[in-house]
Amino acid sequence: MNLQQQQWWAEAQNDENAIIIDVRTPEEFERGIIPNAINIDIYKGQGFIYLIEELDKSKTYYVYCHAGSRSAKACQVMQQLGFEKTYNLLGGISEWNGPIVEAN
């Protein structure tokens, strides 16, 4: 499901099962992230699938990339793998007005 920034962030903050996933490349991830995001690079192909399959399907996933297209694709892949609660950030981090922190 695609969500506008305000709803995406509000729901992520109020969801005790929320996990934020950044599907950009590690280089992009190093430039700054939405707080508490974990990096799983969608360009890793099968490696992306392996990492996603290790995640808890009962959690809620808030996914973003640079502009919203890679994260939309990631949400589709996750749904095909049996994840029921995936939310794509429309516009990605390029249109993000919320907090950005350095990657750990």
CB 75 within 8 A of CB 23: no
Q: Which tokens go with 68?
A: 């919203």
Residues annotated as catalytic are 65
Determine if residue 74 is left, alpha or beta; phi over 0 gives left, psi from -120 to 50 gives alpha, anything else beta.
alpha
Strand 2-3: give its sheet, edge to edge: 2-3, 86-89, 60-64, 18-22, 38-39
CA dihedral (95, 98, 102, 104) in degrees, to 10, reads -110
